[in-house]
Amino acid sequence: MTQPRHAAPVPPDPPEWRVEPGLLDYAEGVAEMTARAEAIAAGTAGERIWLVEHPPLYTAGTSAMPRDLLAPRFPVFETGRGGQYTYHGPGQRVVYLNLDLAARGRDVRRFVQALEAWIIAALADLGVPAWTAQGRIGVWTRGADGAEAKIAAIGVRVRKWVTLHGLAINAAPDLSHYEGIIPCGISEFGVTSLSALGKPAHFSALDAALARHLPAMLAAVGPVPGGT
């Protein structure tokens, strides 16, 4: 008797890669990101990586200390992501990730390490050596003055094993806007950007570098069973 032939499993779709034009209202972005995460957890939507740019604002993570808000020059939003105060604004590439960690191994530490490596690889393509530092969140490089400075921030949240928020890379923001806060509670070091370092600072180059290293980042987070 001929045995029935079973169809090979269909690999899941890769995460949607969406680049938002213009400046996105922060509250609107968080609401849409949260709704997408809920839909992923419910099995009614796929993963998404959303590249955005915001108008000037400060966000307060779950560990934010009031003393680190030096001058509220811009709107301040309390957010559920980890970390302390950070700045978002024009010229900064913000990447929101809605990934399904339930399907990718449920390892939050591995997820954060994958984001760090992703940023470092993308910056290397643009001629910027970067690294992580013990006890300091984010990604670091040498500023124009030779001192260590932060070029990218990471702040994530995981709800129902779906990730929210993500990372921010300074392409060409107004760095004076950081003077209203102590970024991530670290006062000993400054911030820098691709523009301040004389490197390609337009989003097209940065986004292309992130896209090149996306498969490696996703593999590091944990491949979806049945996927590639």
What is the spatial distance between Cα 161 and Cα 9, in angstroms, rounded to a whole number?
23
Given a contact cutoff of 8 angstroms between Cβ atoms, the answer to whether 15 and 218 are in contact is yes
DSSP conformation class of 32: H
What are the strands of the beta sheet with 85-88, ordered from one edge? 76-78, 57-60, 85-88
Indicate the helix (H) or strand (E) that contains 132: strand 131-133
- Paired tokens of 104: 């990718």
SS3 207: helix
Helix axes 108-125, 203-212, angle to 10 degrees: 130
- Paired tokens of 113: 């390490």
87 assigned to active site: no
What is the spatial distance between Cα 213 and Cα 120, in angstroms, rounded to a whole number?
10
What is the end-to-end Cα distance of the chain in Å, rounded? 34
- Catalytically annotated residue among 184, 197, 209, 217: 184
Cross-strand bridge partners of residue 167: 95, 154
Catalytic residues: 184
